[in-house]
Amino acid sequence: MINCDISIARKFIQDDEYLKARKKADTALDHLKNKTGPGSEWLGWRDLLADPNDAELEKIGSLGEEIRAKADVFIVCGIGGSYLGAKAVIDALSPHFGSNGPEILYAGHHIGGKYLEQLLNYLKQPKENGEPKRIYVNVISKSGSTLETALAFRMLRELLEEMYGEGASEHIICTTSKEGGLLNKLIEQKGYRKFIIPDNVGGRYSVLTPVGLLPIAVAGIDIRTLFYGAVSAYNSYEENAEDLLEYAALRNAIHESGKTIDVFATFEPELTSLGGWIQQLLGESEGKEGKGIFPTVATFSTDLHSIGQFIQQGKRSLMETFIIVEKPFSKLQVNKLEGNDDELNYLAGKSFHEINTKAREGTTEAHSEGDVPIVRVSLPALNEENIGQLIYFFELLTGIFVYSLEVNPFNQPGVEDYKKAMYRLLGK
């Protein structure tokens, strides 16, 4: 299970401030449980863990297997919550180099012409053996009308129809709303395969629906263990959410103290994309009505050599949240070197994980002495079960924290503003 340690950050907050925030967190959790807060029609991300749909998991898993067997390239076509969760889990649990399944690529997450043109050219290029690439596209959009995704999907669809003719329909899977929306019309017309995004789950809370689970399954990751990891976290926090109430209260008190930035930092490079998922989950939920602590992402020790200076000594408006993996994935260790010409033999016999742990402990010491409150969130190991638990941990934290700000955690009214202006400029 996830361990959450707020002890370092707690020292930065007076008792009365903390207790005030703690009361708000308790109320917030009640709102979530009793569906009495604003936006409570969007609590499907809790319902789906309360009552797992094994048949759906089975169906997603078996399509994942089919695509793994048939595809050279699998394209996740979606933006925001339609791809960040899948990318977070895939990057966390896949090898850094090579893969034993299809290459997984992303599209529909921006309007960059260079990227899309080069992607299309790459897809058209035959494989080394001269055969055409076997390409599958999973388009993910509730409405089907999100501009970035719809544009890329139009181009990808044209390409697949060019390559496979009538057979193109076999290569396209739509993840969309149950009814309505543009994709449902296309599904009817073309016979694409379909998965449903539940009406009561918002984009940034949708990683454990087909939105995230199909791409994750295609990457060869065990979605049942992932999902049931989240279920175990759900059950555990229904019983006792003390850890999360403390964390939410602490973050609320830090918010009230005027800090404006929360650096989500991991020491495992494979967790960088998970930071991106947390950034949307929290940022899009809390950033309303002039409130919120801006979530930003760092990978240490890499970024200690870029923004480490600022965190240590720049304007004191920061807090940090460390995402920690306790058990090493790799046992790689430093060998003794004859001659010791690089003077590293004092580390011989130590694993990279041990050294990385000391880097983290040193950073914790230095930054907290530099007046940065630090929260530590640890997962026992880098595996499906623990990542599933971590997903629910941050979903629930977001719900509690944002309700305790007296903000609706489930809408995103501000995202419409740029779209409105853009559509006007495009003459729609």
Catalytic residues: 284, 305, 419
Residues facing residue 195 across a β-bridge: 175
Query: By CB under 8 A, is residue 167 in contact with a second copy?
Result: no
Query: By CB under 8 A, is residue 99 in contact with a second copy?
Result: no
Positive or negative: CA dihedral 321, 322, 325, 329:
positive
Residues facing residue 295 across a β-bridge: 262
Helices (H) and strands (E) in the chain, counts: 16, 10
Query: By CB under 8 A, is residue 426 in contact with a second copy?
Result: yes
Residue among 177 and 312 whose Cβ is closer to a second copy: 312
Query: By CB under 8 A, is residue 159 in contact with a second copy?
Result: no
Determine the size of the site formed for a second copy (CB under 8 A).
128
Residues 52-91 that bind a second copy (CB under 8 A): 79-81, 84
Do 352 and 330 contact (CB within 8 A), yes or no? yes
Residues 197-236 that bind a second copy (CB under 8 A): 203-204
Among 68, 287, 378, 380, binds a second copy (CB under 8 A): 287
Residues facing residue 135 across a β-bridge: 73
Minimal distance in Å, beta carbon 51 to a second copy? 29
Residue among 30 and 365 whose Cβ is closer to a second copy: 365
Q: List, as one string, the DSSP characters of 315-359.
A: -S-EEEEEEEE-S-S---BPPP-TT-TTS-GGGTT-BHHHHHHHH
Name the segment binding a second copy (CB under 8 A); options: 38-46, 49-57, 165-173, 365-373. 365-373
Classify residue 166 by its DSSP letter. Answer: G
Query: By CB under 8 A, is residue 114 in contact with a second copy?
Result: yes
Classify residue 232 by its DSSP letter. Answer: H
Name the segment binding a second copy (CB under 8 A); options: 19-27, 223-231, 389-397, 420-428. 420-428
Query: By CB under 8 A, is residue 381 in contact with a second copy?
Result: no
Residues 242-281 that bind a second copy (CB under 8 A): 260-261, 267-270, 276, 279-280
Residue among 22 and 353 whose Cβ is closer to a second copy: 353
Give the residue among 103, 95, 329 at the shortest CA–CA distance from 215: 103
Query: By CB under 8 A, is residue 191 in contact with a second copy?
Result: no
Instruction: Give whole-number Cα distances, 123 to 67, 105, 108, in Å.
Output: 16, 11, 15
